[in-house]
Structures are given as structure tokens and as C-alpha cells.
């Protein structure tokens, strides 16, 4: 049985960043990364791909070029974790033993989480930047008018702002191409507000009002009917058991049951329901009940598992009350690496703390972006340097340049190398 000082599950943003930081701090550590994919994807740019302003090929690079030197790349899938025996099973490479484990496999799309989604996705105007942003761009280019519906599920999703980013870009595209007057742009969400942090919500609410976008809170997608090009929503406003009077005639909504609304679509973009990989859900390291069921249990500040102190988790799979973004991982990785190194050195946990920082670069049109940065409890947490130069709660062209050029450069050349 192969044994590692540190075993990392996942070679995405989180796993690579932690490995790179550990190697930069101590080149003698024996580290293994379990990652089946030969390709590494820069997914934050997929919003721009879906709007025709970024090349999909430039979001894909070879995984081998980002595995830190000296780290063993186990090109395989993790299939089970036994935190008592301190082992990880793999699909083809057998069992691995570890002294310390970093869990960062990301999440997976559950295409069966909404009835009709699997059958309809990728054809007849049903698209998702989470799955195939090039098809989103194809749908947008071929759109001639009618209802353009953008929605998201009730499950946690990575980059919670992504479903509305493509909505703003699509609306701008339709306006620029003379199609806006014959189009209804609709954003339907299970959420109660457009954004959780007030400073940024104020700007976004103004945009929605100024651009005549239909905002539909309390709308949870439950079924897609591709034959009739209709999407069904459960209306779920707290304390209200009936949505009588909420169906909107201007977009041909129809109330079919007390809490079910049916909406026709000509273009439908949605984020699929998302969940932790099955081997995580079935492991003792995951919550077995409650609102975080299936996600890895960690201390929200130290990112250490409360029951198995040699286990740490970060990224999308960790049960943290903040947005699942690459920006969050940028702040989580130094905490995991620092606390882990201290634990190895003298058996005490380091003092590094994660305060819940995350960021959502909210692209609101071609050449415009609001940079929403926040931490736990939806407290604004904007970068001190940027804040001196810009009010990042406003739509700004320099923030668009940051999104399109600055952040991809920093990702490939700094973040994945463990330098930031």
C-alpha cells in the first residue's frame, strides 16, 4: 500500500494551490494528488465564453503542467475515504494510506435533480455555462425574440452569481443587436434577493429596473418540458402557501397549482443542481444530516475537520457559509497549508484563520463589471488597494479588464504556482 505524508484529493484550483504552497514551504514533504482529469479548466471565464467574448480553448490547459514538481500525480478517481484507517480507495490504483488528508474534489452536476433537465440540456435552446458555454453562445446568437429565461436551483452551486452574469450579458447582447424590444429577459431564482450584500444589491436592483428585466424571487425550477418549451417552478415564499396573483401575464406565465407556475421559454439558461461527489456523501467526514448534509464538515475558520484532526477540506466540497468560488479558495489555501505545516511540525494547529472571504466578479454587460467581495455574514470585504482607486460596487470598465485579462493571468501564473 502506497503511503503519503500528505494526500490531496482533487487537482483543481484548491488541490493544486495547496500542493504548490506546501512544496514551496517544504520540498521534502511526500505529497500525492489524486486527480483523474488530463485537462485543467479555468471555469470563471466560461461566463464570457457563453457571451462570445472569450475563446473556450484558452480556458483549457494540460493538468501535467500545473502539478507541482516533486508531487506524485495519481491519475485516478478517489472512490472512498476511511478516516479511521486513514486510507483512500481509488478506482484503479488500489488503496492509499495517508498521515494527513486534504479533501478538495470539487462538486458534481446532478442532471437528474430537475425533471427533464438531462433530456433537454444542450438542445432546442436549453443551455448552461456550467456544462457547455459554447452552446450558450450558439443559443444566444440564434435567439430571435420571446422569453429568455435564466434560473438556478435551490442547491448550493459554484459561483452563485454566474446565472445572473450571463443574463446581464445576454440582455446587453439583445439590446446591441436590435432584439431587445421583442424579448423578455427573466431572472427566476429560489432566493429572496438579487444579491446578499446590500452595497452590491443596490447596484444590481437598479440595473434590473433600468433595463426592464423581470426579477422573480422565490422561484425554484422543478421541471423542464422540452416538447412544449416550458419550465415549471415551485413558488416558495416563506409563510405563503399559495402564489395566486403572482403569475405574470406579460410573459405568459400560468398558474397550474397552488404553488406551481409554468413559464414558456425560447431560450433557457440554468445552473444544474449541484452536490458533493458520492464518495464524499457516503464518507464519515461529511455531514450525515441537516442543511449541510453531504458536504464535508470543517471548522469554518481553520478548515480542519472537527472529528478527524488530520483531515482538512477546502473549495466547493467544504460546508462553509460563503460562496463557492475560486476567489474563496485563494484565501482558503494559505490557511490549510499554513495550519497543516504547523500541525506536522509540532502537532499543534497553526493560527491561520479563514474569515469567509469570497468574491463574485459580476459582469453586468460588455465592458462593465461590479466586483462584489464579501466575507461571512454577507459583510462587504473589498480589497483595500482597489477600494482606494475604485468604488467596486459600481459598474466599471477597469473591473471588466480585470475579469477578462487580469484574473486569468493571475490564475495560471500566480495562484496555481502557490504565489498568491
Active site residue 360: yes
Q: How far apart are CA 235 and CA 244, in angstroms?
A: 10
DSSP for 25-55 reads H-TT--EEEE---SEEE-GGGHHHHHTTSS-
Q: Which grid coordinates belong to 365?
A: 454587460
Largest CA distance in the chain: 67
Q: Which grid coordinates belong to 176?
A: 446591441
Q: How far apart are CA 293 and CA 187, in angstroms?
A: 28
Q: Identify the CA nearest to 358 among candidates 371, 340, 339.
A: 371
Active site residue 159: yes
Q: How far apart are CA 307 and CA 285, in angstroms?
A: 8
Q: Identify the CA nearest to 173 among candidates 152, 205, 209, 148.
A: 148
What are the residues whose beta carbons fall under 8 Å from the beta carbon of 332, sequence distance 6 or more? 14, 303, 314, 315, 318, 354
Judge contact between 284 and 83, C-beta under 8 A: yes
Residue 366 has a CB neighbour count (10 Å cut-off) of: 16
Place of cell 504552497: 21
Q: How far apart are CA 135 and CA 121, in angstroms?
A: 10
The CA angle 110-115-120, to the nearest 5 degrees, is 85
* Active-site residue (options: 360, 363, 396, 416): 360
Q: Give 271's DSSP letter.
A: P
Q: CA 3: distance to chain centroid?
A: 32
Q: How far apart are CA 419 and CA 409, in angstroms?
A: 13
Q: How many CA atoms lie within 13 A of 334 on its CB side?
A: 14
Q: How many CA atoms lie within 13 A of 90 on its CB side?
A: 23
* Active-site residue (options: 14, 139, 159, 327): 159
First CA to last CA across the chain, in angstroms?
A: 35
Classify strands 214-216 and 183-188 as parallel, antiparallel or unpaired.
Answer: parallel
Helix (H, G, I), strand (E, B) or coil at 346: helix
Residue numbers annotated as active site? 159, 360
Amino acid at each position: 500500500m502506497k503511503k503519503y505524508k500528505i494526500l490531496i484529493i482533487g487537482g483543481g484550483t484548491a488541490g493544486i494551490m495547496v500542493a504548490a504552497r506546501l512544496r514551496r514551504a517544504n520540498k521534502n514533504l511526500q505529497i500525492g494528488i489524486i486527480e483523474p482529469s488530463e485537462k485543467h479548466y479555468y471555469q470563471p471565464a466560461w461566463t464570457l465564453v457563453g457571451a462570445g467574448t472569450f475563446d473556450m480553448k484558452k480556458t483549457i490547459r494540460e493538468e501535467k503542467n500545473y502539478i507541482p514538481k516533486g508531487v506524485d500525480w495519481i491519475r485516478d478517481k478517489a472512490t472512498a475515504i476511511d478516516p479511521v484507517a486513514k486510507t483512500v480507495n481509488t478506482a484503479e490504483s488500489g488503496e492509499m494510506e495517508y498521515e494527513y488528508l486534504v479533501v478538495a474534489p470539487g462538486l458534481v452536476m446532478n442532471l437528474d435533480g430537475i425533471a427533464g433537465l438531462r433530456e433537454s440540456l444542450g438542445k432546442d435552446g436549453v443551455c448552461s455555462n456550467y456544462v457547455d458555454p459554447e452552446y450558450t453562445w450558439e443559443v444566444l446568437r440564434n435567439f430571435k425574440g420571446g422569453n429568455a429565461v435564466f434560473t438556478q436551483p435551490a442547491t448550493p452551486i459554484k459561483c452563485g452569481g454566474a446565472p445572473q452574469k450571463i443574463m446581464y450579458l445576454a440582455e446587453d447582447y439583445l439590446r446591441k443587436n436590435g432584439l431587445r424590444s421583442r424579448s423578455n429577459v427573466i431572472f427566476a431564482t429560489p432566493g429572496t434577493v438579487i444579491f446578499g450584500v446590500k452595497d452590491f444589491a443596490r447596484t444590481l436592483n437598479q440595473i434590473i429596473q433600468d433595463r426592464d428585466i423581470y426579477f422573480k424571487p422565490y422561484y425554484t425550477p422543478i421541471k423542464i418540458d422540452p416538447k412544449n418549451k416550458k419550465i415549471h417552478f415551485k413558488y416558495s415564499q416563506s409563510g405563503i402557501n399559495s402564489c395566486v396573483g403572482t403569475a405574470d401575464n406579460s410573459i405568459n406565465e400560468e398558474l397550474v397549482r397552488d404553488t406551481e407556475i409554468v413559464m414558456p421559454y425560447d431560450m433557457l439558461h440554468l445552473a444544474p443542481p449541484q452536490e458533493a461527489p458520492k464518495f464524499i456523501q457516503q464518507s464519515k467526514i461529511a455531514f450525515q444530516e441537516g442543511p449541510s448534509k453531504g458536504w464535508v464538515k470543517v471548522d469554518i475558520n481553520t478548515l480542519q475537520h472537527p472529528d478527524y484532526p488530520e483531515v482538512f477540506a477546502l473549495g466547493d466540497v467544504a460546508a462553509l457559509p460563503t460562496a463557492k468560488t475560486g476567489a474563496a479558495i485563494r484565501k482558503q489555501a494559505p490557511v490549510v497549508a499554513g495550519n497543516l505545516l504547523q500541525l506536522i511540525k509540532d502537532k499543534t494547529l497553526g493560527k491561520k484563520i479563514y474569515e469567509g472571504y469570497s468574491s463574485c466578479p459580476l459582469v453586468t454587460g460588455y465592458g462593465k463589471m461590479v466586483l462584489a467581495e464579501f466575507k461571512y455574514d454577507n459583510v462587504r470585504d473589498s480589497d483595500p488597494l482597489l477600494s482606494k482607486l475604485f468604488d467596486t460596487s459600481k459598474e466599471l470598465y477597469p473591473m471588466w479588464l480585470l475579469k477578462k485579462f487580469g484574473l486569468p493571468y493571475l490564475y495560471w501564473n500566480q495562484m496555481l504556482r502557490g504565489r498568491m
